[in-house]
Amino acid sequence: MNRKPTRRQGRPPAFAYHQSRRGLLRRRSAERILHCDDVPLPGLAERLGTPLYVYSASAIRERVRAFDRAFRKVPHTLCYSVKANSNLGILRLLARLGCGFDVVSGGELERVLRADRRAAKKVVFSGVGKTTDEMRAALKAGILLFNVESESELGALAECAARLKQTARIALRINPDVPANTHPYISTGLHQHKFGLRSSEARGLYARASGSQHLKIAGVSVHIGSQITEVAPFALAMERVAELVGELRSDGHQIDYVDAGGGLGIAYGDEASPEFADHVAAYADALLRPLRGLKVHLLLEPGRAIVGAAGALLTRVLYRKHNDGKKFVVVDAAMNDLLRPALYDAYHEIAPVRLDEPPPEQREKLDVVGPVCETGDFFAHGRELPPVHEGDLLAILDAGAYGMALASNYNTRPRPAEVLVDGKSVRIIRRRETMDDLLRLET
């Protein structure tokens, strides 16, 4: 008989332990098996190998619905940030849920079009370095909005639209000079960053844009960073956006949209955290209070907040190793599969896929490392874990965002397969790469 799965507060019930019994008639020792939805992870590893990315469709749905409930009182569109996880299977799932998409490259736009061409009308195109080819493709696809980030880009977009005899709907991305209290590599809202325009420049550029018959002013955009766990910076950014919207309307511009960007963070540690619905509700309140009475359509660009906790990277222990008292566990996943620890020194909870019941009291401090020839190839330093043996399976949790999206073939390592679990069903949404895949384009 299964016990109610254990669950960390704030985490969707996508990855949870279920109890099973081993031995004749299952009357001997018990263990807990980590599942994704209703699917035990050991079976997936045996069938598909490791490393392996596993995603929960139910967790993705739950989080999309949490956003829609939190913003239900205002016109809004969730424009999922494709850079977080761009797998076509996940994009199709999100399109069926009614999401739009935030893209930052022509390649991401093409992924959206292949997932669901009808979704183009709910695409916003962000990024500081859009090429004319990318602008042309987006205009032909009929996207909703270009988030323009510089005066030069504004001119290039006007010329591109004129050549195609089309009109580009635009919002200028404002840099509100708001500190986001996040990792410096993913903070984007200060004047020292490459993103956006100062508010003092904006009114002049909006005036210039209004003089072009091939540009249509439609909104104001802002994005202050990623993995932001406090809502106060969002509120401050929206206060500055709301002030600008009032000024632009007084200048005679029609502002229909406010693109609030993304950046809402998730809890990566094993500490207690607010329930996700409560977290999103607080975020919604922070955004909506400054916008009250403006009657704008709100665009939101969540990425990590939707898919981060919905994914895990399964990996198998290859070897244990000791160096002068320091203990290492070498696994078959590496920094090329999940770069975040090496890139940001990011924390990911690591869970044994099989865990004795009751859990062992004995724990040991381990460095969990991969086989790549870099000292930076690690997933954890000095992490306290239950006893880990060669051949054991580990799950690196909260790996649904910026995991496979940042993966590479460093050391000529094929990238993992990806599977989408929905209840009891399992669908391979990306097969494991082969050596032929890696070498096909080389001569």
Residues with a catalytic annotation lie at 373
**Token duo for residue 225:** 């960073």
Determine how many CB atoms are found less than 10 A away from the CB of residue 26. 11
What is residue 184's three-state secondary structure?
helix
**Pairing status of strand 364-369 against strand 326-331:** parallel
Distance CA 378, CA 395 (A): 14
Distance CA 30, CA 18 (A): 11
Distance CA 350, CA 333 (A): 13
**Token duo for residue 308:** 């981060």
To 10 degrees, the CA torsion angle through 175, 299, 187, 174? 0
As a whole number of Å, the CA-based R_g of the chain is: 23
Determine how many CB atoms are found less than 10 A away from the CB of residue 50. 21
**Token duo for residue 100:** 């739009």
SS3 content of the chain, % helix, strand, coil (to 5): 35, 30, 40
**Token duo for residue 220:** 């104001």
Distance CA 365, CA 132 (A): 52
DSSP 368: E
Contact 410, 438 (CB under 8 A): no
Distance CA 152, CA 80 (A): 27
Distance CA 23, CA 43 (A): 18
